[in-house]
Amino acid sequence: MSSPERPDGCAVVTGGSRGIGAAVAERLERDGWSVARLSRSGGGNGAGYRADVSDAEQVEAAFKRIEGDLGPVLVLVNNAGVRRDGLAIRMDREQWDDVVATNLTGAFNCTHRVLGSMLSARWGRIVNVSSVVAERANPGQANYAAAKAGLLALTRTVAREMARKGITCNAVVPGLIDTEMTEDVKERILPAIPAARPGTPEEVAACIGFLCSQEAGYVNGAALAVDGGLAS
């Protein structure tokens, strides 16, 4: 039995104004999607919308605007993320809450919001951007690692719940990617990478583009490493 044809709709990329998110938005646009770039600033090229994904009311308002402008949301890339590093013994509650709220609760808020339109279309693609630190301990990032590991569990659960409805939910697991967010850790991590270089946002975007495609309809609940062999 072949998968249903891709219906008309749009894609939303959270954290889409820069770094991996901007590269993903550009890739999806080349693949023929109308793309809304959701961020706290509302900036970036193309259709930019403003929302703090950790706030469910802001997410609801932003998605209503997006649907009014671009149509039903059938692709969601949960990429929004922040870091507030510190050793667990010194990490305060604000550092923990901010990272978990943005990186994990934000992904849930957006996923919860789009499932209705995907169910109506009986077609949808959700991709969560996790991190190699979800599987490989990195001192000073208890909050970030916990949130990114939670994303993998969220991915598998939604995949199981929605598999018969034509909706897939997958994750990419980037290693060291050359972005502004990793500038302060690049020199420390680089020697551990078998590929001996950081990855590019475009390399991550290529993998996400596939997972959002019609051809990836039988890929569900997967965690695709994009890490140059770092977690091997």
- Catalogue the active-site residues: 144
Distance of CA 230 to the CA centre of its chain: 20
Query: Could you tell me which residues come within 8 angstroms of residue 176 by beta carbon, excluding any fewer than 6 positions away?
Result: 132, 182, 185, 186, 189, 190, 193, 198, 199, 227, 228, 230
Answer positive or negative: Cα dihedral of 225, 226, 229, 230: negative
Rounded Cα distance, 169 and 160, in Å: 9
DSSP, residue by residue, 182-230: GTTTHHHHGGG-TTSS-B-HHHHHHHHHHHTSGGGTT--S-EEEESTTT
Instruction: State whether residue 137 is helix, strand or coil.
Output: coil
DSSP, residue by residue, 30-66: HTT-EEEEEESS--SSSEEEE--TT-HHHHHHHHHHH
> Which residues share a beta bridge with 73?
10
Count CB atoms within 10 A of the CB of residue 217. Answer: 16
Rounded Cα distance, 229 and 207, in Å: 15
